[in-house]
Amino acid sequence: MSKYKVFVMRHGEGAWTKENRFCSWVDQRLSEDGVKEALACGHLLKEAGYQLDVVFTSLLSRSIHTAWLLLEAMGQEWVPVVRTWRLNERHYGALIGLNRAEMALNHGEEQVKQWRRSYDLTPPPIDESHPYFLEIYNDRRYSTCDVSKEFLPKSESLKDVLERLQPYWDGTIVPEIKRGKLVLISGHGNSCRALLKHLEGLSDADIVDVTLPTGTPILIELDENFRPTKPMQLLGDQKAIQAAIRKVEDQELL
Ligand SMILES: O=C(O)[C@@H](CO)OP(=O)(O)O
């Protein structure tokens, strides 16, 4: 029997999605479509009668704006929004800013798929010569983290994402859920995949085939031991959701 519910969602479409570039820790804003998606999610949850108690976001604007827009559309703007770097998108290291289709041309589609979706492959690290290095590491938001700047990642596999996320899930988010709070996590494609791998008990091989659409709330129902009681549900028009998943998958095609 389900004891707890939690929503996990990937933020609305980001500006760089249209340019097909690895965005990761670069603080891109939502695209116009992304804004619409976030508002639509809020309307969907409102119509279903959900009342949120707390929303967790990353430190990146696209995840925070998604939370704001969603809460506004629900008429629940007063709900606390808690931000943490531990929900940030996976750090794509030296791949940040590169175009996925161009990468596929140079390295092959399979290699790009492995970089994007495998569990334990870590891309080459970012270093000071990278065009976005200073923009990321000089950003004041990263001096507010629970680890000092030099220990923030320079590149991550999905496994690394789960390792930095899980202590926050266990220590901060789970206690809220246990207190009876309805929690929504406004994260990123890969921080949400890491969390879903953990919650749904997916194998390292199975997570490769999980791609999340933008701006789609995923409802997870859990028993008292935080084990899922039914398959996760992607809420909304199922045809549109499948099309949105294919759009993300096809980003690495030539
Ligand atoms: O650009 C990124 O950081 C992510 C999406 O947030 O890309 P991908 O879908 O390729 O993992």
Question: Tell me, what CATH number does 213's domain have?
Answer: 3.40.50.1240
Report the separation in Å between the CA atom of 25 and the middle of ligand 1, taken as the mean of its atom positions: 10
Q: With bands split at pLDDT 50, 70 and 90, how would you rate the model's confidence at 253?
A: confident
Q: Which of 13, 37, 89, 156 is an active site residue? A: 89
Nearest CA to ligand 1 atom 7: 22
Q: In angstroms, what is the span from residue 23 Cα to ligand 1's centroid? A: 6
> Could you tell me the two tokens for 170?
């266990």
Any catalytic annotation for residue 156? no
Evaluate whether 191 touches 87 at the Cβ level (below 8 Å).
yes
The residue segments making up the domain with residue 142 are: 4-252
Question: Domains in the chain: how many in total?
Answer: 1
Q: In the prediction, which pLDDT does 25 show?
A: 98
- The arithmetic mean of pLDDT across residues 223-242, rounded, is 96
> Which residue from 217, 220, 213 is spatially nearest to 250, judged by alpha carbons?
213
Mean per-residue pLDDT, 70-84: 98
**ipTM of model:** 0.95
Using the predicted structure, report yes or no on whether residue 254 has a pLDDT greater than 80: no
* Atom 5, ligand 1: residue with shortest CA distance: 189
| Pocket of ligand 1 from Cβ distances under 6 Å | 22-24, 89, 92, 116, 188-190, 248
Residue 1 has pLDDT above 90, yes or no: no
pLDDT tens, residue by residue, 108-137: 999 999 999 999 999 999 999 999 999 999
